[in-house]
Structure 1
């Protein structure tokens, strides 16, 4: 697959191999829990490492790295290579003393400028939730030919903090990807975007320069060795989207880039929850004589940044397509970053200006979750395309658009403005722009409207339904139309959001606009339920369908049974749709009549209580639930916990024996308890030094599923740390609660200020509140208190709450900061 371009470059590479024995080229370290729900005191963590090495390093055995090593999944043996815990290691006593850095080969590149041997490794660890450590890999040396930091040491570090987030879940670190070497022309202004994403979709991601200030940075360690801010002067970094802007001043030399990507719970958070390193190289070139003025580009089959669902054990055959733009311009190399087991074909030239490489891969169960792939096409003048990166979401199916759920279809009114279609699984708005849905006039094959689903407010996503609302109907009477879409219009809700395939079939969704002068006897009137009240509510999950009424001339003069569909229709008694008891939800039906008479319909909902094997008894409903509409609205807190069958019966009023029923199964589950230590659930308070501090989760916590919170149903443990200076005290991996006399020598008690014999705290009779006695905390210092709550009967129900307390010398009233 790879080609050596010029003899002069070959000689340069051979000389470089002699002069430069250094071997490190960059890497990435990230992690995520296998289950982000807190269960007990430990969690299983999947640690991911990826590194790039100099392929011709003298310690590597000839014939060095080739595609045969990728196929064989050879280990990259680097003597003494180990990742270790670097800071606060006592918080995680089960973290191994060292973890192998001998990667499994995933990519080999023999291009004389790149000469990369890349690999990755996944390691599963069982760690206590007290873990808050800095881990990393240090060594020597970077390559010699660096603009700054040549032959210097490397340091690549990651912060792993498993303390439950404010929402009660275990955090996942951000993820990112890169090519080992990215080419840009010398003395040309460059904008380069480093991709970053997070499974915790609401987190705020910030990208910053790695630095060596161990007393300042979050990792409390040297993060970058000899290449801290090694990019040229004038380089800028936009942290919110990890965009670099720079000019590479010298040609035929490399530039090291070392960054940290950190996730914050929300925009007001001041401390990140994790820190992920990414280190890689830029290379500056002068275009050779006769080089094409336009560098190659990768044009498909997938758009850049696509997220593709992929099941286990099924072979993937993916074609990477590059385009060239000048006579004599050829593609000689695809530089790649791949998941383990993905193989790369030789380069093919199926037609003029097009060059392809085929990827083959059978993912295995241990590769569950997001797996990144990046490629760059390099031509025979060493011009490289922009990086092209996609994510394969292993173990997840991409959603599909359901063809027969599209509405409206057939003959519709010229004033129609609301269109909708169902999906096979829950979907959300795509995370990338350029995911368009097209409405085309088939009469003249002209696109009359397109909406970019990445941002267009006319397109909304609720559960299994995509709805498009036109501000003004653009239809022409008598014309026919069809709807198509790009891939990614429907994106799943897990991880990066697995995308649906593009819809290019002009017969997939069609409709005609009625013509008043036409004498046709068949009409279709769309009675799609109004969406305005639902689209603006964040607390109203809705299962949407569409209602169409048909009045068709029939020579037999008869009527047919109404057809009733509740979507999603995939719910079963063993796999019901789940709603939290604190949520409102609505089910809307698809009802179709075929009859030659004028008619009306009678609709009736029945709700039955279900066991694990049968749904039998109808339940007595709250009067506010109206069961006579075609849609069923269930307000929050009206159905008890349990599983229910919601059955809709539709009867034609002119012929009462013509009726049809359809049902869906739902399960009402508990909502997460909101543990509040102080009134209103505020995150920070100020308290006087000579004032008692009352923390009362039994009074201030909230159970969204119930009208009141029953404090006596819970067990309580309280913890405290000196915020900004120490972690929560722990012993052998377990946090030390207030009231336990065990001492952590590295993380002192919050109450060391108290030297008399008085106990600094008081509990009420059921421990649902704690009072910190005045003068027990040091003034002009901030403390963080945490409560851990566990249900008395059901220990799987847990909640954690935090509050920051700043102590002042004065005796103020309590100040609450929302």
Structure 2
């Protein structure tokens, strides 16, 4: 599927100042067949933001006034010893605006950046920030986000580098109160035959190796004929070590990525190897004028583990904490029922691909995080019709392709109307020429010659048409039908006039 369309009926929605609406991070090899010692991959980030809180421009979000310091990197969070050199030159989180909607109060952004890594690299990268808008009921505030993507350049069983699945959900999604809504997570994979699965994002704790010892290792024989009584359940027990205080100081063997060590210039490698600890230097602070009233939340301090770091896939919105109790996920379809109107919920899902349906080892993991807003019951809740009905358009590389998209509002336009169309993910070379709203009323002829001649006029009768792309002329047959209909309508109006 080339892109996703989001249609919403007009309603009054309160847009808060919190700016992040979710997103996804994925990657793909430039050449899956390469056998070089280095592999070039593209890391693609797609995010949704509150608009106009965040400006529609390049280098989102730092181009918004007051957010010049909001840039950060996609950080390696686990298996960093096999990151193939990623941590030396990490990718930042800046993206470029794709589309914006004032009526929906949202903006989408995307960017693809190439990175060269050693062959066989496998590691986890994360975008962490704070905070989500208030979600759930009762409200939970200042929840942080953690969007984690698993990169694995090891060869698949079929001898090529894997290409992860693609999944993109427009955020926010809208649901009507007291009505069960099914939200389909659109997923696709270029590797034919891969088994795609969706699961809830989780928090995987880190771990450290503990030294094992025998409980009687310090007991000695008194003589060759006399020994201390052995404990009946003679086995190994762990030595519990006191955790290093890396949350308040950059001590010996603390990770340089911990919060205190970030202010220690002498902590230059991955771990502080100074036996006296790495000295923390406090930089002078300067006041900065901002034009936003939003106060960023504080990210929680994470513990460091010498063997494997924790993998936090969902931050503060792990299932089932920020969705109604009846929410389920099956076959990449989210079933959701909101019982309280004007309430926000947050969802975090991982999309994974497997070599076949029997495999239990994912080859990649792509995050999908989005918001759901529960609306009051609208005056009309009939879903609009999108034409063409098929969700996939085939194109040929290097050949110009033009097409139209029509949206038909099935509600009374004085009660409810199509608000906007949102392009959730950009395509290189695609340009939206024109969007406009045009009412169209067609009266079919009294005696049609063929049934198929009435099919399209009947679909559009008493409906409203929203044209997204106007790049191609109408086919001659359809044009001829329209001229006939116009002529018959004029004749009908002429007969209605008084003599």
TM-score for both structures, normalised by structure 1: 0.38
CA distance in 1 between counterparts of 2:364 and 2:354 reads 8
Write out aligned runs for 1:719-758 (5 A).
none
CA distance in 2 between counterparts of 1:310 and 1:359 reads 19
Determine if the alignment matches structure 1 residue 355 to structure 2 residue 465: yes
Offset of 1:332 from its aligned partner?
2.7
Which residue is 1:35 aligned to? 31
Which one of 422, 425, 447 corresponds to residue 335 of structure 1?
422
Offset of 1:35 from its aligned partner?
1.3
Which one of 100, 112, 127 corresponds to residue 137 of structure 1?
127
Give the secondary-structure state (helix, strand or coil) at the position aligned to 2:45: strand
Which residue is 1:297 aligned to? 384
CA distance in 2 between counterparts of 1:175 and 1:31 reads 9
Offset of 1:131 from its aligned partner?
0.7
Which one of 80, 84, 105 corresponds to residue 89 of structure 1?
80
Offset of 1:189 from its aligned partner?
1.6
CA distance in 2 between counterparts of 1:280 and 1:208 reads 14
Give the secondary-structure state (helix, strand or coil) at the position aligned to 1:225: coil
Offset of 1:316 from its aligned partner?
3.6
Shift in alpha-carbon separation, 1:122–1:219, aligned structure 2, 3 A: farther
Offset of 1:177 from its aligned partner?
1.5
CA distance in 1 between counterparts of 2:194 and 2:9 reads 44
Offset of 1:342 from its aligned partner?
3.6
- Decide whether the 8 Å contact of 1:134 with 1:219 is kept in 2: no
Write out aligned runs for 1:243-258 (5 A).
243-258=333-348
CA distance in 1 between counterparts of 2:470 and 2:396 reads 13
Offset of 1:91 from its aligned partner?
1.1
- Decide whether the 8 Å contact of 1:158 with 1:277 is kept in 2: yes
Give the secondary-structure state (helix, strand or coil) at the position aligned to 1:246: strand
Which residue is 2:111 aligned to? 121
Give the secondary-structure state (helix, strand or coil) at the position aligned to 1:271: coil
Give the secondary-structure state (helix, strand or coil) at the position aligned to 2:311: coil
| Greater relative contact order, per chain length (Cα 8 Å cut-off, separation 6+) | 2
CA distance in 2 between counterparts of 1:260 and 1:266 reads 18
Write out aligned runs for 1:54-73 (5 A).
54-57=50-53, 60=54, 64-65=55-56, 69=57
- Decide whether the 8 Å contact of 2:411 with 2:417 is kept in 1: no
Structure 1 or 2, whichever has the larger Rg, is 1
Q: More strand per residue: 1 or 2?
A: 1
Offset of 1:144 from its aligned partner?
2.2
CA distance in 1 between counterparts of 2:123 and 2:411 reads 50
CA distance in 1 between counterparts of 2:8 and 2:164 reads 37
Shift in alpha-carbon separation, 1:44–1:253, aligned structure 2, 3 A: same
Give the secondary-structure state (helix, strand or coil) at the position aligned to 1:343: coil
Which residue is 2:323 aligned to? 231
CA distance in 2 between counterparts of 1:257 and 1:344 reads 33
Offset of 1:299 from its aligned partner?
2.4
Number of paired residues?
Answer: 334
CA distance in 1 between counterparts of 2:102 and 2:312 reads 32
Which residue is 1:169 aligned to? 160
CA distance in 1 between counterparts of 2:59 and 2:398 reads 22
CA distance in 2 between counterparts of 1:54 and 1:146 reads 18
CA distance in 1 between counterparts of 2:152 and 2:193 reads 18
Offset of 1:175 from its aligned partner?
0.6
For residues 620-654 of structure 1, give each alpha carbon's deviation from its aligned partner in whole angstroms, at most 9, with x where no partner exists: xxxxxxxxxxxxxxxxxxxxxxxxxxxxxxxxxxx
Give the secondary-structure state (helix, strand or coil) at the position aligned to 2:97: strand
Determine if the alignment matches structure 1 residue 103 to structure 2 residue 95: yes
Offset of 1:327 from its aligned partner?
5.5
CA distance in 1 between counterparts of 2:348 and 2:115 reads 26
Write out aligned runs for 1:463-612 (5 A).
none
Which residue is 2:411 aligned to? 325
Which residue is 1:47 aligned to? 43
Give the secondary-structure state (helix, strand or coil) at the position aligned to 2:366: strand
Determine if the alignment matches structure 1 residue 221 to structure 2 residue 311: yes
Shift in alpha-carbon separation, 1:177–1:136, aligned structure 2, 3 A: same
Kindly report the root-mean-square deviation, in angstroms, between the aligned alpha carbons of the 2 structures: 3.0
Which residue is 1:200 aligned to? 191
